[in-house]
Structure 1
Amino acid sequence: MKKFYSLLAVAAISMTVSAQQTVFEATFDDITGTGGNDGKWSGQIANNSLSSYETGGSWTLANAYSGNNAVKLGSGSNLGSITTPTIVAEGVATLTFRAGAWDSTNESTTLKISATGATLDQATVTLVKGSFTTYTVNITGANKAVKIKFEGQKASNSRFFIDDIRVTVPTQAVTDTNATKVNLVKNTVVANEIIFGQEAQVSVINMAGQVVKTAEVKDNSRLDVSNLAKGTYIVTATVNGKAVSQKVIKK
């Protein structure tokens, strides 16, 4: 099922008992075109070039086209690829996505997947021509700055559609500060400064999943956030070997 928001990429605080916490999700619902979700997989579809895409961060595109709430990559003679913005995940995570191959006789069904800032347990998956299939890839060694690339197998006839890219982490990897009794942030409603209660390397992440500030902090040190827009942010850090996060509201 498609979601209302075109991209949700959040480092969220774990507030309920669930197995996984979503830290990145792209649904491409703001992309208007033909092909993929409308049941069309060949012919005169997805003809409008998608030279850039900035929803939730800066994506890297090569030979990309606008599908029906999806992205088509590649053409009959050119290799296509798409690389995510930076994903804030640490340690182990799980990647899921939907993809399908262009429906023609000579089309390749091999999709290559690679990552920077992490290791994937699969380098390729086999697509189905003319329909979406959901794939799951395990991520290890994530270093808080992960980018994932999806690419066709060869220069010609490796066209594919992609949709619903999601990365989840175990809930213990995105932990409520109060639950772990770690006082990372002393003031959770702030005007101009965040006051810290622990020595750590911290990142401030907005609700689009973008890292807007990083700093090395100590107990009682202050971080100027006066230039940030009003709204909700997540402060993440590793304290005593544990990944913790805390929600901060900028008023």
Structure 2
Amino acid sequence: MKKLYSFFATVAVASGIYAQQTIALSEDFAAYTLGGNTASTGANAPDSKDVYSASGTPVANFSTGAKVYSAGGMAKLGTGSAIGTMTSKTLDLSTDGGNVVITFDVKGWTATPSTIIVKVTNLADQTVSYSAVMSGTAESKTVTFTGGQANSTVTFETPTTSLRAYLDNIVIKTVANGSLAVTEINKGKSIANFVKNTFVKNNEITFGADVKDVKVFNMFGQIVKEASVKQNGTVNVAELTKGNYIVTGTVNNQAVSQKILKD
């Protein structure tokens, strides 16, 4: 446990650049150009031509799917009456210890909050929440999986027919756990009441002091949330999956850190 804590304390002041990672897939959907789909904001909504239909042209990175449409450089999944799904080409996700990190931009139709399901072969599905809608700017999301295998695929799927989603800038990679290019080592110290609820059950982290530069790190050393809070203020982490995280920040010019568990 002490070793893990020291690692994350180091991450707090690391450069944040992984020394060892393998990009398995990167897709910005620039090849989705069919139809009159010049925007993803509702002004020019996607037409009815499914890119996975006989007349469509799916991108090579996502070779199979259904009810997916080009939309101003994004991929729009789902309709009002059908679930949208798209599955990647076969990927080797066993490299770097099988630690899989998937990042993507997402926004929904008009309903909020919304969710999208991310599936990796032989691993537990993860449901990601977001609040951005098509008239606004997409949110950047990160999900992590452990136990990645060779000959895997990654699938994005809308959970119901009413929750349509726009996706962009998908990056799927494996990352060596703890492999960081560290430029400075400066262990953050834990102080009383920095984080008041280290066991997070209600999606809110509560802080017992004024904290600058709050950062939440996942188990791969990635920043998944940033904020600044006042004493007794909260940071919502509803979009984060269950598990262990490290919270860092600055209190009275002192670097502090605390391990938390989100239930």
Q: Secondary structure of the residue that 1:86 maps to in structure 2?
A: coil
Query: What is residue 71 of structure 1 aligned with on the other side?
Result: 75
Alignment coverage as a number of residue pairs: 153
Letter in 2 for 1:135: K
Contact 1:119 1:141 in 2 (8 A): no
Specify which of 136, 139, 145 is matched with residue 145 of structure 2.
Answer: 139
- Using the alignment, how far apart are the partners of 2:84 and 2:113 within structure 1? 12
Residue 94 of structure 1, CA deviation: 0.6
What are the equivalent positions in structure 2 for 1:141-220 lying under 5 Å apart?
Answer: 141-155=147-161, 157-170=162-175
TM-score, normalization by structure 2: 0.50
Letter in 1 for 2:77: L
- Using the alignment, how far apart are the partners of 2:80 and 2:113 within structure 1? 11
- Using the alignment, how far apart are the partners of 2:58 and 2:44 within structure 1? 26
- Using the alignment, how far apart are the partners of 1:133 and 1:31 within structure 2? 20
Query: What is residue 258 of structure 2 aligned with on the other side?
Result: none
Residue 58 of structure 1, CA deviation: 5.5
Query: What is residue 100 of structure 1 aligned with on the other side?
Result: 107
Residue 42 of structure 1, CA deviation: 2.4
Letter in 2 for 1:81: T
Identity across the alignment (%): 21
Cα distance change on mapping 1:57 and 1:25 into 2, 3 Å: closer
Q: Secondary structure of the residue that 2:100 maps to in structure 1?
A: strand
Residue 142 of structure 1, CA deviation: 0.9
Contact 2:39 2:73 in 1 (8 A): no
What are the equivalent positions in structure 2 for 1:32-43 lying under 5 Å apart?
Answer: 32=33, 40-42=40-42
Residue 128 of structure 1, CA deviation: 1.5
Q: Secondary structure of the residue that 2:89 maps to in structure 1?
A: coil
Residue 73 of structure 1, CA deviation: 0.9
Q: Secondary structure of the residue that 1:85 maps to in structure 2?
A: coil
Residue 127 of structure 1, CA deviation: 4.1
- Using the alignment, how far apart are the partners of 1:115 and 1:150 within structure 2? 9
- Write the deviation string for residues 63-88 of structure 1: whole angstroms up to 9, x where unpaired: 11111222111112221111111111
Higher strand share: 1
Identify unmatched segments of 5+ residues in structure 1. Answer: 1-15, 173-251
Alignment RMSD, CA only? Answer: 3.0
Contact 2:119 2:156 in 1 (8 A): yes
- Using the alignment, how far apart are the partners of 1:77 and 1:171 within structure 2? 41
- Using the alignment, how far apart are the partners of 1:132 and 1:27 within structure 2? 13
- Using the alignment, how far apart are the partners of 2:91 and 2:131 within structure 1? 24
Deviating beyond 6 angstroms after TM superposition, the runs of 4 or more aligned structure 1 residues are: none
Letter in 1 for 2:93: A
- Using the alignment, how far apart are the partners of 2:75 and 2:152 within structure 1? 21
Contact 2:91 2:153 in 1 (8 A): yes
Q: Secondary structure of the residue that 1:168 maps to in structure 2?
A: strand
- Using the alignment, how far apart are the partners of 2:20 and 2:156 within structure 1? 26
Residue 138 of structure 1, CA deviation: 0.5
